[in-house]
Structure 1
Amino acid sequence: MRLVKWYKDFNELIMFQHSVFSLPFIFIAMIVSANGWFGWKLLLLGVLAAVSARNFAMLVNRYLDRDIDAKNPRTKNRPNVDGRFSETQLRILIIVNAIFFIAVAYVINDLAFWLSFPILLILGGYSWFKRFSEMAHLVLGLSLGLAPIAGAIAVEGTIPMWSVMLAVGVMFWVAGFDLLYSLQDMEFDKKEGLYSIPSRYGSDATMFLAKIFHTIAVLFWAFFVSTAELGFFAWLAVIASAGMLAYEHHIVNKDFTKIDRAFFTVNGYLGFIVLGLIIVDRIVQ
């Protein structure tokens, strides 16, 4: 029972369900690189790398944000604040996941191994940035945007241009929905002097910039499809993603209280719908 409770607390700490944002794009890149199925070994290694990298990023965030989370009514009951995980436990978990990620990268190939170190620096940078720069939203986007590049490296051992296009699209997609999500903490961030765009420029500017970011995301996903010379269903994926992002903005524009619905539901489905259409595209070609 203690183990089950620990697992539940750990899952609450790292919010494992948010992995749905990056995992589909890792697999999209691996499928395009392999022009189809890339093998069970790489599937396992890809999942392990993605999970350990995301665990590391979330644990660093929770560790560095202990003081902020304790003051915010929305986050004051998180496991990093209420005593369920001590500072020492958090530091150990950060180190374990970092070592595990580096070890998995080593098994994948040399390029993955050498890039694992700067990747960890980027993943851990988000929490620092929001204390002094509004660019934190883009840093978070970059953290998830590295996923498709990592997927291509796992299969090819190189960084093809189409993977960069896909990555830039993911970066602006994530930064855009993080802007919307940050609207919930706008007043708190103002009070604490945090550098979120909502706290600095207000809700109207934030929602306008989120639309710009999501437009850029769709454009770069179109560049990805073109550069990778994919087919009809891949273009359909771009159109579907544009429609889903438009719906997300419709939800938030209509009612700020629906931000969670827009954040989790729409963005959670988006990646898997795009992945499904890319799989179909590879099958029919």
Structure 2
Amino acid sequence: MTSAGSRDGFTDIRPDGWIDRLAPAAARPYLKLARLDRPIGTWLLLFPCWWSQALATQGWPDPWMMILFAVGAVTMRGAGCTVNDILDRDIDGMVERTRSRPIPSGQVTVRQALAFLVLQLLIGLAVLVQFNLFTILLGAASLVLVFTYPTMKRITWWPQAFLGLTFNWGALVGWAAVTGGLDLPAVLLYAAGIVWTLGYDTIYAHQDKEDDARIGVKSTALRLGDASKIWIYGFYTLTYGGLLAAGLVAGLGIWFQMVLLAAVLQLAWQVGTWRPDDQMDCLVKFKSNRWFGWLVLGAIVAGRVL
């Protein structure tokens, strides 16, 4: 790619990261397959769980439950990436950013990746069974999304919407883990998470738009094109509206609303300063959603304890 801000051999895999420096050589390809060197995806999967748990809790959220969600997010994000890389191995080999991933580069075979996937799913199951029966069933249902999402870029211009359905399932699971059921605040939080994902993953998809167009892969970055900024402003406005509605329905007051405004400013900064043709800037803005996640969590906790 030769777009502004890009470079030859652009990749988000750091050859000098902690895995290459600290992990045993035999484990390195598997740790990279699970994206343990790039934790932003884990954060984006984890925050809806924590938001919902905090929203359903009177007072401070249970630390042990937060730890369980964290372990589950690491494991299931890794499982999702493994499924994605198995199904996309031929496509990944044709995309500049992804051709050095373990499967297309030949570091891990498909059979080895499948065995690693089973291990991750077993760990995820061990975490899930710590919760009530309704939460176990709800969490197990998410596997339908985990296994179907990677195929969506082949059939729809809106695979980011399906990622939103998948990555924000924790907004339902977190509430269920605390209450044993589902209520309107959890549904509103889930909807807010979906449009949040539409925003940040459209930014992310702009990294690959030239390669995607060349090989015939669909994305919102290609569908929305030069209008992406306007659409993302819209997605993020709906995110704010959904979060505000979830908090108000759950009984949160002024402290929640005040801290949530800081989170909204973070979203506005993302889009206002985003350079869609700069691959590195796309990655930076995408990763900055970690701070948005913390601000929303802070808003919900503030609304519960202050």
TM-score by length of 2: 0.85
Structure 2: gaps spanning 5 or more residues: 1-20
Q: What do the CA deviations read for 1:76-121 (whole angstroms, capped 9, x no partner)? A: 1112221222111111122222233234323311112222332011
Runs of 4+ aligned structure 1 residues displaced above 4 Å come to none
Residue 76 of structure 2 aligns to a residue whose secondary structure is helix
Match of 1:220 among 234, 242, 249: 242
Tell me which amino acid in the other structure corresponds to 1:105.
L
Structure 1: gaps spanning 5 or more residues: none
Aligned to 2:228: 206
The answer to whether the 8 Å contact 2:164/2:197 transfers is yes
Distance in 2 separating the partners of 1:22 and 1:117: 15
Aligned to 1:278: 300
Aligned to 2:274: 252
The answer to whether the 8 Å contact 1:45/1:108 transfers is no
Distance in 1 separating the partners of 2:187 and 2:81: 24
Distance in 2 separating the partners of 1:99 and 1:263: 30
- Aligned pairs for 1:122-201 (under 5 A) are 122-199=145-222, 201=223
Quickly say closer, same or farther: Cα 1:249–1:38, change in 2 above 3 A: closer
- Aligned pairs for 1:15-94 (under 5 A) are 15-16=35-36, 17-18=39-40, 19-94=42-117
Tell me which amino acid in the other structure corresponds to 2:230.
F
Q: By how many angstroms is 1:235 displaced?
A: 0.8
Q: Which has the higher contact order (CA 8 A, sep 6+)?
A: 2
The answer to whether the 8 Å contact 1:33/1:155 transfers is yes
Residue 5 of structure 1 aligns to a residue whose secondary structure is coil
Residue 154 of structure 2 aligns to a residue whose secondary structure is coil
Aligned length: 282
Distance in 2 separating the partners of 1:46 and 1:60: 20
Match of 1:234 among 256, 266, 270: 256
User: Among the aligned pairs, what percent are the same residue?
Assistant: 24
The answer to whether the 8 Å contact 2:189/2:246 transfers is yes
Aligned to 1:9: 29
The answer to whether the 8 Å contact 1:102/1:116 transfers is no
Q: By how many angstroms is 1:22 displaced?
A: 2.6
Distance in 1 separating the partners of 2:194 and 2:208: 21
Quickly say closer, same or farther: Cα 1:65–1:212, change in 2 above 3 A: same
Distance in 2 separating the partners of 1:161 and 1:4: 47
Distance in 1 separating the partners of 2:286 and 2:74: 20
Distance in 1 separating the partners of 2:273 and 2:112: 39
Distance in 2 separating the partners of 1:84 and 1:150: 35
TM-score by length of 1: 0.91
Quickly say closer, same or farther: Cα 1:254–1:91, change in 2 above 3 A: closer
Residue 172 of structure 2 aligns to a residue whose secondary structure is helix
Distance in 2 separating the partners of 1:45 and 1:108: 9
